Amino acid sequence: MKRIFYFLILFTVFLSCDRDTQTDNNNPYLPNYSFEVILNTSFPQYSSLAFPSNAVYVNSAGAGIRGLIVFNAGSGNFLAYDAACPNQPLTDCSTMTINGINAKCPCDDAEYSLFTGLAAGKQFPMKAYRVQMIDATTIKVFN
């Protein structure tokens, strides 16, 4: 009986472990690309990230699908999303713009919260990426 109990505990532990896999929200409109971008908040184009509730658009080569929207959620928490509209095929109008604490898709005027990545009534959330603080002024965004 003890063997079965130990086996069940061990089996449960193995099932609860999760590999660190690529971020994928199973969105048919947005492909998965591997990339890594380093942002230095002491540079003028990223300096607004030093303050909570500020976001910047990063349009550098290899940064996501349509660029990145990086957001300071406060308390040292940074969030990064792809700037491609998550509920639209990739077209000329499917690059989101920052509108305060929201991102707006010009194709359908949907507004996504930068705190959650969600928009009311939409099937897919914004595509999120991993963020790591390297030091006090350096942020790494990757997939």
Could you give all domains of the chain from N- to C-terminal order, each with its CATH number? Answer: 31-142 (2.102.10.10)
Smallest Cα–Cα separation from 68: which of 76, 60, 48, 94? Answer: 60
pLDDT tens by residue, 60-96: 888 999 999 999 999 999 999 999 999 999 999 999 9
pLDDT tens by residue, 20-71: 444 456 899 999 999 999 999 999 999 999 999 999 999 988 899 999 999 9
Q: Please give the model's pTM, rounded to 2 decimal places.
A: 0.82
107 Cβ neighbours under 8 A, 6+ residues apart: 85, 88, 91, 93, 94
Rounded Cα–Cα distance for residues 39 and 67 (Å)? 13
